[in-house]
A and B are shown apart, each in its own frame.
Chain A
Amino acid sequence: GQNIDQPTEMTATEGAIVQINCTYQTSGFNGLFWYQQHAGEAPTFLSYNVLDGLEEKGRFSSFLSRSKGYSYLLLKELQMKDSASYLCAVRDSNYQLIWGAGTKLIIKP
């Protein structure tokens, strides 16, 4: 079966760095997405990785290793507004998005 694993919840301190991991087992691979979702709102797109390596976009970076079925989202200089759920999703061979359950990130002052 297809499976996306990510931690349920993480806590970090304002100004610090946090890494949210995602491992996946899917039928085929056509890219990995990270989305941010604040409570009561729809997800917003953060990053897309299809090749191995690190993609940096401001305070957020995303890394992919296809051979290991592994990705992480790195958030630097954490701000209180970064408190949200972070969803990892993989697009499989049928171009369907397979979703992880999301990681709730709690930022403390």
Chain B
Amino acid sequence: GAVVSQHPSWVICKSGTSVKIECRSLDFQATTMFWYRQFPKQSLMLMATSNEGSKATYEQGVEKDKFLINHASLTLSTLTVTSAHPEDSSFYICSARDLEGLRQYFGPGTRLTVT
């Protein structure tokens, strides 16, 4: 089946620094990738939708200047958390939709801890 990878799988950073998370579709091309955030014991919250070659669409309440998304190719999207704060500590999950638009595959997630 289709595989989506994320790197890193976990990261600890200091408050005020920036962290970049990569999401790759390994064996298929994805024109659309999604970034989710999940706090403990809560459901997935969509942060933004990114389409290859265009600007990401952010959900209401998500700061686009804080969560920078780049979807440079059909297999790679990156999320950069800028000037991270402890409240940004969360589980960040990406998913990629195949070109046919039928299936959406999830990456394994990245656990971010901001100290």
| Size class of the A contact interface (CB-based, 8 Å) | 10 to 19
Q: What sequence of 0s and 1s flags, for each residue 88-106 of chain B, a beta carbon within 8 Å of any chain A beta carbon? A: 0001010001000111111
Contact A100 B108 (CB under 8 A): no
Tell me if B93 and A42 are in contact (CB < 8 A): yes
In the complex the two chains form, is A99's CB within 8 Å of B104's CB?
no
Q: Are A99 and B106 interface neighbours, CB within 8 A?
A: no
In the assembled complex, how far is the CB of residue A98 from the closest CB belonging to chain B, in whole angstroms? 9
Contact with A along B75-115 (1 / 0, CB 8 A): 00000000000000001010001000111111111010000
A2 CB to nearest chain B CB (Å): 12
Residues 33-56 of chain A: 1 if any B CB is under 8 Å from the residue's CB, otherwise 0?
Answer: 101000011111100100000000
Tell me the A residues contacting B by CB distance below 8 Å.
31, 33, 35, 40-45, 48, 87, 95-97, 99-102
